[in-house]
Structure formats: C-alpha cells, structure tokens
A and B are shown apart, each in its own frame.
Chain A
C-alpha cells in the first residue's frame, strides 16, 4: 500500500524526533535548568519544526536547523523571565583569573550527583559559554556548525571554548 503525503510527513517527523529529541531536550534542560520547562520547550520546538518542515531548505543539517529553533525558543523564554543573572563578555576577566586549569581532568566521586553539579555549574556561567559548551558537546556538530549557530567564526569558537572550559572547571570544583 502506498503512503499518503500525510503519512509520509508523519513518518519523516517520527524519524526526526527519534534521532534528535535527546539532543534538543538536553540542550533545553541544561539551558533552562528546569525539567518541566525543558519538556515544554522540547514539545514546542518539535511542533514548530513540524509546521515548518516544508520550509527547511537543506542549507544546514536537520540537527543544526532544530538547534537554531531550540536556541531561539530558549533564549526568548529566558528573556521573558527577565533573568537578571546573566553575565556579559565584560566578565571574561573573572574567568581568566580562575584558579582551575583547563587541562586538569574533572573528577567526580558520585555519578548520581553529576546532573545536579553540572546544572549548578552551568547556571553560574555566562549564557554564551553555557550555550557554547552544550553545542560543542554534541559530537555531530562541527566547529563551523557551532559557529554558525552562535554567530561566530570557527576560530572564535575555539578561542571562547578554551575560556568556557576554564570557567566551567573553576565553577565545577566549587560545587563539590
């Protein structure tokens, strides 16, 4: 039996969800810091994707396209909450002087507490660093793709990543 266009669209969307839902949910969870908000955001992101799937021009990968929708959505949410705890780039000096070394391994004694410690650490980082680390952690994305998502060149991404790692390590130690 031949599939109708609607069925086809539906099965394509199912594959899209199966392949990308973890990445999008994880980004939303760690960016927003709230499981319920992350769940709502993930639903909304995929619903937007479903409605705009025919507008996807194939210039980027589907994963990158979904990330773009997710980043915009999460940033809008955060802005709407009038989050006053955001840092600007002017605070880079704080992280530059942080005691932690980038090349030191991050040691965790209790894996079960890892999620909470990561969340605390990310919450203390500037939005830019948080987003950068979350995107670079996705092995499916190249530096070029991460750069395109955050509006930076691949070289700038590498430079900022170094500082973001340092900041993360410094804050992570404090969560122990």
Chain B
C-alpha cells in the first residue's frame, strides 16, 4: 500500500514537472506590439486554397478581365 502511495507521489511530481515545463515553453515575452505581431505573422499559415484559386483565375495570363456583373445581368 505504502509502495503504491510512493509511486503515486512520484507520478504526481513528474506530471507537475511536465506541466511546468510546458507552461515555461508556451510563456513568452514581447518587447512591444510589433514584435508580437511579427511573431504571430511568422506563425500564420497562408491557406493553400488561395494559390489554387489564383491559378484558376489567372489561368490565361493576359486575358481580358471578366465582364462586369452588371453587364452580365443586363446581357450587354
């Protein structure tokens, strides 16, 4: 029984150490707003869908822009 208690205490200590380490890893200080924004920007992923959509939109380089919506609507 005693052995089980000791084991449990060790486990708790280990868990506490891991939690502390995780918190230390995730905690961070920034000198000012720009530094924080720079960090945030560097960790922001550009959705791959944009490049795919652009590839479709620019499929024919040099092609004239599509007809405006109101011309399409009025059939002109």
Contacts and interface: CB of A to CB of B under 8 A. Distances in A.
Given A13-B58, A21-B50, A22-B41, A108 B29 contact: yes
Interface in A23-49: 23, 25-26, 29-30, 35, 39, 42-43, 46-47
Interface residues of A, number: 44
A111 B29 contact: no
Nearest to B24: A109
Contact of A43 (B35, B57, B65): B57
Nearest to B51: A17
Nearest to A139: B38
- Tell me if A's interface is mostly helix, strand, loop or mixed: helix
Interface string A120-163: 00000000000001101111000000000000000000000000
Interface of B: 23, 26-41, 44, 46-47, 49-51, 53-54, 57-58, 61-62, 65
Interface of A: 5-6, 9-10, 13, 17, 21-23, 25-26, 29-30, 35, 39, 42-43, 46-47, 50-51, 102, 105-112, 114-115, 118, 133-134, 136-139, 164-165, 168-169, 172
